[in-house]
Amino acid sequence: AIALLYLLYPAQQFALVSDFHAVTFTAALLLFTLYFMYTRRTVWLFIFAILSMACKEEIPVLIALYGLWSILLQHRLRSGLALMVLAIGWVGLTLLIFHFFSPTGHPLLASRYAYLGNSPVQIVRNIVLHPVSILKQHVLEHNHNFYIRLLLNPAGYLPLLAPWVFVLALPSLALNLLSSDQNMYSGFFQYNAEIVPVLIFSTIEALVCIIWLVQWVLNHV
């Protein structure tokens, strides 16, 4: 059932609705990255993490978060820290390449967040200082709220019952919700590819918790 949910997940099906982008590969690559992180198979974890990061410039941020997650929840200090260092180094290299080879000196998609500030520090500062405004305009607003429901509906909102896993989707979700480009929070196109694997794993975790809770209740009735 979970495999079928993954294959038929609308956010994944819509990734190819108009054209093809390399980030679409992350729907599978990040799924394997999470799997090998869960099963503690370090070599394969790094192989698929590297393949994932090669797909798009923001993926290393997710991989760094995966490394932090592994340190905190799996207590895997060495592999988690190595994953974070690799991802942060990849980000630095990416920014260096953009600086020298991009016509604008920065990622082309950066303009979609220019209304929040001219630098990452300014963007974070404006988000922290105006949380209510951000919440109203980019979460509770009809189109944004519809996008969130479009992501969660197919899994019956089960991912929310496993917030310790769902948190891994927050960077990508924030990028889409905060973008000035409506396509990024339309639920269509390639922008949701890296979110789907986390939704699948958080659904699995939620089901495990529900089954455990039901068994506990039945054993104590």
CA distance 127 to 178: 10
Q: Give residue 92's pLDDT band: very low, low, confident or very high (50, 70, 90).
A: confident
Query: Which residues constitute the domain of residue 207?
Result: 2-219
CA distance 79 to 152: 31
* pTM as predicted: 0.89
pLDDT at 69 exceeding the cut of 90 = yes
- Quote the pLDDT of residue 95: 75
Q: Name the burial class of residue 139, with classes exposed (0-12), middle (13-18) and buried (19+) by CB atoms within 10 angstroms of its CB.
A: middle
CA distance 80 to 111: 32
DSSP string spanning 169-209?
Answer: GHHHHHHHHH-S-GGGGSS-GGGGTTTHHHHHHHHHHHHHH
pLDDT at 17 exceeding the cut of 80 = no
CB 32 within 8 A of CB 44: yes
Mean pLDDT, to the nearest integer, of 214-220?
A: 90
Q: Give residue 204's pLDDT band: very low, low, confident or very high (50, 70, 90).
A: very high
Q: How many domains does the chain have?
A: 1
Question: pLDDT by residue (tens digit) across 135-144?
Answer: 888 888 989 9
DSSP string spanning 6-44?
Answer: HHH-HHHHGGGSS---GGGGHHHHHHHHHHHHHTT-HHH
CA distance 108 to 56: 12
